[in-house]
Structure formats: C-alpha cells, structure tokens
C-alpha cells in the first residue's frame, strides 16, 4: 500500500510541480518554502532513496536525470543550513550509497562545500541561515539572544562525516567535531542542553530545553554518530547516554492516567506539553537500548514502548485518527491538543517512525496495527485527487486541508511505512543508520573502508 501511496504522491508532484520544491495538492501547483531559498527540486532529492528502495525504477531514473541536468547550487539564495543538509545532502548521500551513481556523490560534496562558510563564526558554531552565493550567514531573527539552534547545528554530524569520507577532505569532519568540543566545554544546567547557543560568545541563550522542536535531532545524532562509527565514537556514546539520563530525571513524567510523556523545561519549570516532533524519541530510546550503560537496556526499551503508546493515544483521541502538532497533560486533559494552533497535522513521520523502530526491535504486532490505522486515516483524510495534503484540525470532521504535500512525506512517512511492513533485512540496522530525514547512511567500520561497496 505504501508503494501505491508513493506513486500517487510522486505522479502528482510530477504532473503539477515538477522541478519545484513541493506540491500544493489542492491547487495543483508548485509550493516554495523559503527554507531552501531558490535551490529547487526538494521533493525530487528527498524522494530519490524512497523510489530506489521501493524499486520504482522508471521514476528513479527520471529523478536522476533531473538531478544531472537541473540541480544547481550556483544560485543567489539564502537557505537554512539544517534543512538543506538533512534533505539535500542527506538525500544525495543515500542515493549515492544505494545506487553507486557518481553524480550523487559529486553533487553532495559540491553542496557540502557551499555550506562551509556557515562555520565562519568566532566559536565555529554555524549560523542557521546562509547565503550560498556570498557566503554571508546570520541567525533566525526570532532566536533568543542572536543564538544558533541546538537541533540545527547539532544535526550536521552524520552527513559531514560521510562528506569527509567520500571526498577525502577532512574539513567537514573537523567542523562537526569542533561543535562537540564547544558543547563539552560548557556548563549544562542539570546536565541538560538548552536549545539556544550564541555562536559569537559561546554562551547559552534562554534556558529552554526540548526533545521536540529546536532540540530533537541533536540527541538523535549523538546516538547515531556512535552507531555509524561502528561503535567507536566513544564521545558520542557518552554524550548521548548522559543526556538521556538527565532527560529521564528532569523531563519524563507519567500522567495520572498512566501515560508517559516528555515535557519541556523552561528555566527549571516544566511545561506539560509534548510535540508530535517529540514522538521520534520512542524509536530513539529503543534503538539506543542495546548499548545502554549499567543494565539500563530494559528501561530504554520500555521507555520507547511507553512513548509509542502515548503517541498512539494522541492519534486515537482525535476525530480523524491522526495526531495533533502538540498535545498537553494539564488542565484536565491527557494527550489532547487544547490550543487551536496546535491541532494541525502536516503529514509528519515521527509517530510512524517510532512504530517502525519498535516493530523491528520487539516484533510486537501492535506496532503494525497502529501503523495500519495511520495508513487508513491518511487515505481517508489526507489523500486528494492531486496528492496528499496536511489537515488544519484533526479534531474536526469538517475537513480543512492545508494544501501542502511536504517533501518529508515522501522521504520519511512513506519510507517508514514501507519498512514497517517489510522484512528486517531491508536496510538492516546492523549496516545502516537513518539520518533525521530518513535517508539511510551506511555504518563506517574503522577497519572496513570498502563497506559501501559490499553493502550495495
């Protein structure tokens, strides 16, 4: 079924928005988000590996031809360093490792080089935004005290290690190792990492800690850096398990109805809210369980299972059976959105991602059942003639579409669904880690430089 869904999403993108970043499935035209400046083709690059894995050969070929002929980074564009890294660099790297086609390696390295000026700050903590023509960077105007964002500068590691590996140029790896060094020098309140860090002063901004938006994939990349190194990156391992310990102590709580959730922390006070984005953490805890220190393996798997259950409840307690952007555990509610502007669903993957990890690691059939419920809801409420659309209010049966088919729907949501219903030997965890946009990257064993050859 996810193959049919992918076909529908792809065919409509091709028909109405080919070469543009994303599709507006209701108005049947292109959608351009300013996250990518005027770099074009986000959906194509994000979808390459999904097309490959689903064996959609014709479509993969057209996508590759588009990349060869049209993907151009010599544009005057201010881009989000994080978004371009996870979707474009990550997408190109996976396409290269899966298909062995040189064009993808070449484009990935070329784009990586374009991103390097972002690191020209006094600390080497990169800017959030970069003009890839002038090389001038800056931060989001809304970010506390001119800070860079933890989840943005902390989500470059996997791709940059591979860029050094594939180009023979150590500069990429040096840049991301330096980020670790800066973080390790700093005092962390209660062992937690605030979401804001000023790249000039090297000081934290506002003490807001989140495992959802603004923080999320920083933690994910600590664990995956260790796994991707063939478990040799001890620093990554230590930073990850220390962080999880602090998260468990200070952020994880149980509601009176028995649902485990991860709250947000603002200068020592908890906000009892969990974002859809935070739901990825169930899969992360389970993936990291095996290496957990001092017989904590069982606890990490259990945390993964409890977060999966809570996130499933957030879906089940809506009218459309799709989860809201954020849900709360206060004012008498549990796992329900209470604010109008938190009731939307934009085709995000995190809950299905967690089901996929939990399925692979436990084989409890309920995760496939829950994934199936999500498929039914997506087909019923998000599928439209012109593709798939997000929804403005998951509690209202009066349908209101947001008219955007996000590129991560093709790269993540549909890929994780496909994997959830595939055998474990498709992209096995022993050989691959997924970047935060679900692009698989091979594990680099220190003694096995030809790994990518043997994994094809």
Feature table: binding site for Ca(2+) = 436
Site string for ligand DMJ, 266-305 (x = CB under 6 A): -----------x----------------------------
Q: Which residues are annotated as a binding site?
A: 436
Which tokens go with 146? 């001119």
Closest CB 214 distance from ligand DMJ, rounded Å: 10
What phi, psi does 275 have (nearest 5°)? -90, 155
What phi, psi does 309 have (nearest 5°)? -65, -45
Closest CB 346 distance from ligand DMJ, rounded Å: 7
Say whether residue 21 binds ligand DMJ (CB under 6 A). Answer: no
Q: Is 385 a catalytic residue?
A: no
Site string for ligand DMJ, 161-200 (x = CB under 6 A): ----------------------------------------
Burial string for 3-21 (b: 16+ CB within 10 Å, else e) reads eebbebbbebbbebbeebb
Say whether residue 217 binds ligand DMJ (CB under 6 A). Answer: yes
Closest CA to 343 of 392, 381, 382: 392
Closest CB 436 distance from ligand DMJ, rounded Å: 4
Beta carbons within 8 Å of 49's beta carbon, 6+ residues apart: 91, 94, 95, 98, 411, 415, 439, 440
Chain residues 32-91 in contact with ligand DMJ, contact rule CB under 6 A? 86
Site string for ligand DMJ, 419-438 (x = CB under 6 A): -----------------xx-
Is the Cβ of residue 48 or residue 296 nearer to ligand DMJ in the bound state? 48
Residues in the chain: 456
Binding-residue total with ligand DMJ (CB under 6 A): 9
Beta carbons within 8 Å of 309's beta carbon, 6+ residues apart: 259, 260
Which tokens go with 323? 């989860």
Burial (CB < 10 A; 0-12, 13-18, 19+), residue 300, is buried
Angstrom distance (rounded) from CA 180 to CA 184: 6
Say whether residue 94 binds ligand DMJ (CB under 6 A). Answer: no
Catalytic residue among 83, 152, 220, 264: 83
Is the Cβ of residue 224 or residue 348 nearer to ligand DMJ in the bound state? 348
Catalytic residue among 22, 46, 59, 216: 216
Say whether residue 357 binds ligand DMJ (CB under 6 A). Answer: no
Is the Cβ of residue 325 or residue 452 nearer to ligand DMJ in the bound state? 325
Query: Can you spell out the DSSP letters for 375-407?
Result: HHHIIIIIEETTEE--BS-TT-SS--B---B-H
Closest CB 408 distance from ligand DMJ, rounded Å: 4
Q: Is 216 a catalytic residue?
A: yes
Q: Is 83 a catalytic residue?
A: yes
Is the Cβ of residue 264 or residue 452 nearer to ligand DMJ in the bound state? 264
Chain residues 330-349 in contact with ligand DMJ, contact rule CB under 6 A? 348-349
- 283 vs 197, 229, 235, 367, CA distance in Å? 27, 19, 21, 12
Catalytic residue among 49, 152, 350, 437: 350
CA dihedral sign, ordered 149, 154, 155, 159: positive
Beta carbons within 8 Å of 27's beta carbon, 6+ residues apart: 386, 403
User: What are the residue numbers of the active site?
Assistant: 83, 216, 325, 350
Q: Interface residues with ligand DMJ (CB under 6 A)?
A: 86, 217, 277, 348-349, 408, 412, 436-437
């Amino acid at each position: 079924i996810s193959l049919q869904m992918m076909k529908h999403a792809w065919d409509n993108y091709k028909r109405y928005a080919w070469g543009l970043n994303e599709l507006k499935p209701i108005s049947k035209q292109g959608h351009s988000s300013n996250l990518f400046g005027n770099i074009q083709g986000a959906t194509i690059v994000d979808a390459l590996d999904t097309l490959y894995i689903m064996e959609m050969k014709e479509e993969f070929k057209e996508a590759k031809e588009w990349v060869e002929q049209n993907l151009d980074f010599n544009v005057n564009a201010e881009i989000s360093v994080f978004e371009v890294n996870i979707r474009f660099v990550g997408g190109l790297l996976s396409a290269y490792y899966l298909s062995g086609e040189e064009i993808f390696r070449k484009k990935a390295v070329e784009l990586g080089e374009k991103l390097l000026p972002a690191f020209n700050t006094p600390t080497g903590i990169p800017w959030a935004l970069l003009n890839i023509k002038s090389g001038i960077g800056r931060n989001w105007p809304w970010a506390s005290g001119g800070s860079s964002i933890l989840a943005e500068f902390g989500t470059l590691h996997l791709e940059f290690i591979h860029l050094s590996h594939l180009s023979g140029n150590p500069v990429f790896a040096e840049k991301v190792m330096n980020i670790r060094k800066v973080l390790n020098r700093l005092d962390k309140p209660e062992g937690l990492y605030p979401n804001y860090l000023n790249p000039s002063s090297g000081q934290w901004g506002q003490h807001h800690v989140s495992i959802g938006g603004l923080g999320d994939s920083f933690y994910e990349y600590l664990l995956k850096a260790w796994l991707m190194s063939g478990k040799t990156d001890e620093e990554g391992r230590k930073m990850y398990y220390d962080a999880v310990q602090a998260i468990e102590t200070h952020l994880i709580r149980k509601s009176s109805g028995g649902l485990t959730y991860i709250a947000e922390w603002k200068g020592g006070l908890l906000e009892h809210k969990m974002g859809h984005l935070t739901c990825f953490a169930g899969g992360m805890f389970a993936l990291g369980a095996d290496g957990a220190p001092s017989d904590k393996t069982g606890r990490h798997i259990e945390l993964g299972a409890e977060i999966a259950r809570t996130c499933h409840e957030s879906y089940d307690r809506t009218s459309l059976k799709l989860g809201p952007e954020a849900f709360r555990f206060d004012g008498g509610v549990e796992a329900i959105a209470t604010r109008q502007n938190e009731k939307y669903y934009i085709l995000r993957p995190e809950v299905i991602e967690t089901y996929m990890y939990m399925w692979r690691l436990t084989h409890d059939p309920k995760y496939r059942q829950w994934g199936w419920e999500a498929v039914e809801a997506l087909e019923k409420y998000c599928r439209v003639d012109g593709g798939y659309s997000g929804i403005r209010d998951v509690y209202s049966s009066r349908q209101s579409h947001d008219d955007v088919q996000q590129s991560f729907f093709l790269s993540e949501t549909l890929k994780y669904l496909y994997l959830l219903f595939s055998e474990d030997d498709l992209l096995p965890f022993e050989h691959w880690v997924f970047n935060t946009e679900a692009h698989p990257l091979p594990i680099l064993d220190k003694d096995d430089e030809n790994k990518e050859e043997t994994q094809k």
